[in-house]
Structure 1
Amino acid sequence: MEKAAMARAIRHGSSLPEEIVVWEILVRLPPKSLLRCRSVCHAWCRATSARNFLLAHHGRQPSLPVVCAHECLGRDIFAFDRRAAHHQLQPVARLDGPFGLAASCDGLLIVSMYGVDGYSFSVCNPATRQLAPLLQLSDFRFFSVSLGMYLHRPTGEYRLLLHRRTYKGWTGSATEFIGGPQPTPMCFNECVLLRDNLHWYPVHDRSGNNPQTKSKPVIVFNTIAESFWQMHAPVVPINPYMFEMDGTLAMYTCNRVTDIVDIWVLQDYKCEAWEHKYRVKLPFSEISGYFGEREDFWYVRVGSADGDVHLLIHYDQSLFCVDTDGKLVKKFHLYGQELHACQLRLKQTLVQHNFFRVLGGYDVSTSPFSTVSISL
């Protein structure tokens, strides 16, 4: 469909008004196709390079779950698009070296690399293939992940929420817990950014205990006021994971004894009213049939796009897509690589950010990014 739209735009470009070509056709293309279109003519190049166009283009991109493929020399990053034909893993980028993914926001990824001195952090944009080190985070080198990344709208800065002292300087910030109740004794699963708030569900305390209390709340961080508050959560028998579903919060639990995944959806954000939406029996008899026996280690990530809920199961280095009826939809396997579904999502962007230049970031020609093309 995208290639056909681009072909029609080129064929009829001289007869269609430029406004329709740019704002109804080109703005809907994925980043790679749009970059190719810039070579058609100078007018298209100018129009699609303007910041207002790039912001509109970013707004039309889907927010897709991130899938990583590990190997000893690097990591391939994919976006899982269930809307595409045959449920595709779309190649996004290849990072040379043992990088990990710590956070994402507005098409930007925070990647971490562990060395002899601890962790180092970098910010990257896979769509523009730019990467820059966050040297001001050197004092956080023994922290493997951040709590979240967000756009601080009052200043226009991108900021990271971490555990320790405040550092500023990359048109963004690394900031400690600011204001309100500081949930420092707790550990958290991945966050969900929604309505200018970061949301986490507390998992366990630092002693390794797993306090199951009926009143355990969702921890919320307001990214505008930069203060914490708490939200009511449903009573669940197992520690849940949170995700975004159709513009609202959702959470799921996985019972490893019964192989059942339960999914709750926040029906009313203001009233904090939750509904138990799905109960999915995982098809392990069919999945294990690919390998001859039941694998002990596995985990599930639940995601949603355009009202379509899917489950991604990591099992024996492969990835299996299951729908809410418990039906196996697709199997992904890359020889020599182990596939992992992240809780992070990627909404690609071609918007330019000055901090890549300020931080001495790599450009397209010198970046450690590599292109990857894998047949699935």
Structure 2
Amino acid sequence: MADPPNRGLPDEISIWEILVRLPPKALLRCRAVCRAWRSATSTRDFLLAHHGHQLTLPLLYGCTNVGVQGEVLDIIPFDHRPGLAAADQLQSVARLVLGLSYPCVEASCNGLLLLSLGRRDFFVCNPATRQYAPLRQIYGYVLLGMYPHSPTGEYRLLLYWDEDLIYPDLAPGTQDGSYVFTLGSGEPPRYTGYPDSGILMFSNSILFHGSLHWHIDKDASTSNMIMLFDTTSESFRQMRAPVVPGHASLFEMDGMLGMSSFNHAATTIDIWMSQDYDSEAWALKYRVDLPVTDLTAQFGKFTETWNVVVTCWNGDVLMLIKFGEWLLQVDADGKLVASFHRKLVRFT
């Protein structure tokens, strides 16, 4: 690597005004310019500041087998800003050649990704710098969520262990229940109790108002409970939710907690918003009727009713729906806005 170009430009400008504002792909190229830039853009303060300058967009990923190199993992944000051509809305911002089979993006937090191989081996990755490291201490655990612990500034993982579910010979004598693991620590996961936390395995978590949230899918026909994990006190509690049929997905929109769910026929999406988070008051904001017959004729069979991302831009609500081999962008009136043929793209 060469010496830093343009020695007359102070770091306050070159690093903290220019590099920190670059998109991930451009930052990767700049990191190769010189050792000083590579070192400066690897610090925790820079990475947090860089992430803060990026748009908050729904995150998807796709895997491609490239032969002897293994799997290539593409990190793909859904950039739904008005004026962008459809072809530019799903562009990879980082391509990671992992040499692994079937990697999965399990969680993301402040620009960090948690990847898994077979949901047993875990790796932490920063796609902006293409740095990643294995997390051997949590082999065999089930990931429930990832969060920043504000009192310490650490990044932590909430895990679950069940001896009947997981190979008992991995950690004999380990208690069933939830565990907390600190990234970068050499210590094993710390037991926090709550043996029933296994119910969270089947729902994706969302970090909102300093707590991880999961919608609990019940075996019965309806469900109306959200489980919370306070990331400061590291304790669980429950929250009331609207009564919906079966599965629901949580999201954040305009600073509010939201929830989307399909009806049993998978023809209508209800979107609920928490009007008053503290009092657990919810309101049905949108009922989106999908032209399923027309969409099926054009894009094939619709089978993945849990794969829906709800987002908002300038007050306009949009949904990204996995429809067979396609991703469909639909507005609040159920109108098809754009379609993307993305067979191997998955939601995080």
What's the CA shift for 1:36? 4.3
What's the CA shift for 1:199? 0.4
2:21 paired residue among 2, 14, 28: 28
- 1:301: which partner in 2? 308
1:282 paired residue among 287, 290, 295: 290
- 2:117: which partner in 1? 113
What's the CA shift for 1:159? 1.4
What's the CA shift for 1:211? 6.1
**Distance in 1 separating the partners of 2:15 and 2:117:** 40
Structure 1 stretch displaced more, 166-175 or 235-244:
166-175
Distance 1:18 1:135, change over 3 A: closer
Q: Deviations over 1:184-218 (max 9, x none)?
A: 456541011012100011113xxxx33635xx421
1:178 counterpart SS class: strand
2:240 paired residue among 232, 246, 252: 232
Distance 1:258 1:167, change over 3 A: closer
Are positions 1:190 and 2:189 aligned together?
Answer: no
Matched residue type, 2:261: T
- 1:99: which partner in 2? 103
1:154 counterpart SS class: coil
What's the CA shift for 1:258? 5.3
- 1:247: which partner in 2? 255
Matched residue type, 2:132: L
Q: Deviations over 1:230-269 (max 9, x none)?
A: 1121222343211111222110111251511000011222
What's the CA shift for 1:163? 1.2
What's the CA shift for 1:339? 2.6
Distance 1:70 1:21, change over 3 A: closer
**Distance in 1 separating the partners of 2:181 and 2:19:** 37
**Distance in 2 separating the partners of 1:17 and 1:137:** 42
1:157 paired residue among 150, 154, 159: 154
Alignment of 1:1-376 (within 5 A): 26-36=19-29, 52-71=45-64, 74=71, 75-83=73-81, 85-87=84-86, 88-91=89-92, 92-94=94-96, 95-96=98-99, 97-114=101-118, 119-140=120-141, 143=142, 146-164=143-161, 165=174, 166=179, 168=181, 170-171=183-184, 175=189, 178=192, 182-185=196-199, 187-204=201-218, 209-210=219-220, 212=222, 216-257=224-265, 259-291=267-299, 294-299=300-305, 300-306=307-313, 307-334=315-342, 337-340=343-346, 342=347, 344=348
**Distance in 2 separating the partners of 1:71 and 1:18:** 38
| TM score, norm. by length of structure 1 | 0.71
Query: Kindly, what percent of the aligned residue pairs are identical?
Result: 45
2:60 counterpart SS class: strand
Distance 1:314 1:28, change over 3 A: same
Two-structure CA RMSD over aligned residues (Å): 3.5
Distance 1:42 1:295, change over 3 A: closer
**Distance in 2 separating the partners of 1:43 and 1:122:** 27
Q: Report if the CA contact (8 A) 1:108-1:123 is conserved.
A: yes
- 2:167: which partner in 1? none
Matched residue type, 1:171: G
What's the CA shift for 1:38? 6.4
Q: Report if the CA contact (8 A) 1:333-1:339 is conserved.
A: no
Unmatched 5+ residue regions in structure 1? 1-12, 345-376
Distance 1:169 1:327, change over 3 A: closer
Q: Report if the CA contact (8 A) 1:200-1:218 is conserved.
A: yes
1:232 counterpart SS class: strand
What's the CA shift for 1:220? 0.4
Unmatched 5+ residue regions in structure 2? 1-5, 162-173
What's the CA shift for 1:56? 2.4
**Distance in 2 separating the partners of 1:148 and 1:126:** 19
Q: Deviations over 1:309-336 (max 9, x none)?
A: 32122222121111112121211115xx
| Higher RCO structure, 1 or 2 (CA under 8 Å, sep 6+) | 1
